[in-house]
Chains A and B, each alone.
Chain A
Amino acid sequence: NAGVMQNPRHLVRRRGQEARLRCSPMKGHSHVYWYRQLPEEGLKFMVYLQKENIIDESGMPKERFSAEFPKEGPSILRIQQVVRGDSAAYFCASSRLAGEAYNEQFFGPGTRLTVL
């Protein structure tokens, strides 16, 4: 059973460009979480999605950032008009269906975004 897949692993963008980060959850997982890790800091929650639904986006910046998890295909975190402050590692995690008291989140290897 493959783990959580993220691509690309490294992404370089110039200021003003768009960044698209992809996350394929583990097989059988329908919940996806995105976290951002700035240098020398802990991970910060951004958004929680289920298939075709955003459940909680309380950690997402109000502008330029969006996320989706379509019925088919990976979850996408999209950052428009990137700025240098967006440079960070972006981690995706997935878990199984809700209804269980404990849903372990399995993390992907992360995408390191560098904005020049």
Chain B
Amino acid sequence: AQTVTQSQPEMSVQEAETVTLSCTYDTSESDYYLFWYKQPPSRQMILVIRQEAYKQQNATENRFSVNFQKAAKSFSLKISDSQLGDAAMYFCAYRTYNNAGNMLTFGGGTRLMVKP
């Protein structure tokens, strides 16, 4: 079974600065997807960014980028120019590549605080 670990329960960043959230995972599969979700106080789950394991290029979405290290099974999220609206819980998630197993496996989350 796959597992996802987020070792930072809480992180803090100054507004306009850069912060990196860590995620490691364990799998025996070679093809899979990785995701970062944001959960603000409203508790709505919002997809921030996704990465296909077969792609060597790191995914980027505006101020959000990932550092995907497949051999190390590491998938960190970098938030540049942090904004107050970035304050939320962030969850790393894994999904297998084949269509039969569509469930997401989530890490325990990192609470990000943004200081003005």
Contacts and interface: CB of A to CB of B under 8 A. Distances in A.
Given A33-B102, A48-B102, A43 B33 contact: no
B99 A103 contact: yes
Interface stretch (B42-50, B56-64, B71-79): B42-50
A42 B43 contact: no
B43 A45 contact: no
Nearest to B33: A102
A104 B60 CA distance: 17
A42 B107 contact: yes
Q: How large is the interface on A (under 10, 10 to 19, 20 to 34, 35 or more residues)?
A: 20 to 34
B42 A43 contact: no
A25 interface: no
Main secondary structure of the interface of B (DSSP, over half): loop
Interface residues of B, number: 23
B101 interface: yes
A107 B104 CA distance: 12
Interface in A68-105: 89, 91, 93, 95, 98-105
16 contacts: A35-B104, A35-B106, A42-B4, A42-B6, A48-B102, A56-B103, A93-B45, A95-B102, A100-B99, A102-B33, A103-B102, A104-B50, A109-B42, A110-B43, A110-B44, A112-B43
